[in-house]
Copies of this chain bind each other. A is one copy, B any other.
Amino acid sequence: MSILFEHVTAVTMDPAAPVLRNAFVLVEGTAISQVGHTRPQGAFDRVVDCTGKVMMPGLINAHTHLPMTLMRGYGGGHDLQHWLNDYIFPAEDKLDSASVRAGTLLALAELIAGGVTCVADMYYFCPDIAQAVADSGISANISRSVTCFGPVDDPENYYACRELNAFREQWHGFDSGRIRVDASIHAEYTSFAAPNMWEYLGRYAADHKLGMQVHLSETRSEHLECMARHAGKTPFAVLDDYGVWQNGGVAAHCVWVSQDDMEGMVRRGVTAVHNPVSNLKLASGVAPVPRLLRAGVNVALGTDGVASNNSHGMFEEIKLAALLHKGVSRDPTAVSARQALEMATINGARALGRNTGCIAPGLDADLILVDFTHPGLTPCHDPEENLVFSAHGSDVVMNMARGKVIYENGAFLTLDLEDIRAQLEGYALPRIFG
């Protein structure tokens, strides 16, 4: 399959040519094969006229919990403990394979319509999540979140690690690496009873060349309690002592990380995933993103689960990432539009070990087209500014994942929305909330 995009205005994320105008982009198979101002020779299966649209790399949501989309807005307005104990945990207790599958498909529909082509997920029921992702066409790093609230004698035989191992054997590398399995430690505060588990999982990730997803220093109390437990050591440092980061990692939130943590993250190749909406909604605080960037940390962007957002809208995260730090630091140049776009594209690709996030030959053809003709995107003095501050997921008119058009003009080409609704209304929602 070959698709030629013509009359392309593109925000490429390629520093050599950040904005292209009236260009051609050729996709052959699953990859971008040509980008430039000369029309490629030959016949193509399809030619797409991009007049009035802006192309950019598909967005990468580097931290979420897909099935929690079932809990959108559930128990809103309560304080954190009430919300978790009386709403979220009881709902999670009732999850099963079929409801997780339905919730994941719902999440994927929202993500795809909003321009996401790659996601990092941390949850349970991973084979069900993987099957839904496989069907959807997008890429994902899926991790089985490990918690343990007491000592563990033999990590290798701990149920969550056995699940991880079976899941890795079944799904890691699926469809030329479209699905990757990551290791995951949920967080220091949900596993400090078993530091041998940290050691085991760090080595396991290195042995199998897996990523490592961890919630890191999301709340102040979590950060300080860890330091009290571990002779002043931060969550990053404690986990580092046990070799958790030996194959790099993806650390979600990083609201309270120290300067030393940042330097360690650079040394270990650990990405900080910024989740600005969730951090505000849960009153966790404002992550020190300008300092992370200055320290040289790779900063990616995520929505977190929809229960604490309440959306999978990556364009909202991009806008907020570019706004929030200006206002809080009172520096109008903090986190530029370009930097916010990088977080949502190439930085996410780097975090998840993927050959995407940029429009250039040889990369995976993960691309979106954004309609720039409606009033809210008019006029366009600068496509980057409009993408960051004026665009929204609802402006996405095409989503191409690995060379396959999976969404176009409101139609889902891999997912059956009516069937998803039937699964939700006929089973998942009554089971969990009925």
Contact surface of A with B, Cβ cutoff 8 Å:
70-80, 83, 106, 109-110, 113-114, 220, 277, 279-286, 309-313, 316, 319-320, 323-324, 326-334, 336-338, 374-382, 384-386, 389-390, 392-395, 417, 420-421, 424, 429, 433
Contact = CB atoms under 8 A, between A and B. Distances in A.
A28 B277 CA distance: 41
A279 B327 contact: yes
B283 A378 contact: no
6 contacts: A74-B382, A110-B376, A284-B330, A310-B390, A311-B389, A378-B421
A393 B220 CA distance: 35
Give the interface SS of chain A, mostly helix, strand, loop or mixed. Answer: helix
Contact of A320 (B79, B320, B424): B320
Nearest to A113: B375
A211 B71 CA distance: 44
B394 A392 contact: yes
Nearest to A433: B381
B327 A386 contact: no
Given A381-B74, A386-B73, A80 B332 contact: yes
Most central of A109, A312, A375, A384 by chain B CB within 10 Å:
A375
A376 B71 CA distance: 12
B311 A280 contact: no
Given A327-B285, A375-B113, A376-B311, A389 B73 contact: yes
A335 to B, nearest CB: 11
Contacts of A375: 106, 109-110, 113, 417, 420
A341 B60 CA distance: 31
A167 B378 CA distance: 29
Contacts of A286: 327-328
A378 B328 CA distance: 32
Contacts of A329: 283
Given A327-B281, A327-B286, A390-B72, A77 B381 contact: no
A376 B393 contact: yes
Most buried by B among A110, A320, A374, A376: A376
Given A71-B381, A73-B381, A114-B376, 10 more contacts: A74-B382, A75-B381, A76-B337, A77-B337, A281-B389, A283-B327, A313-B376, A320-B320, A392-B392, A392-B393
B330 A283 contact: yes
Nearest to A108: B375
A333 B79 contact: yes
A390 B332 contact: no
A433 B379 CA distance: 11
A329 B286 CA distance: 10
Given A376-B114, A378-B106, A390-B311, A328 B328 contact: yes
A65 to B, nearest CB: 16
B330 A285 contact: yes
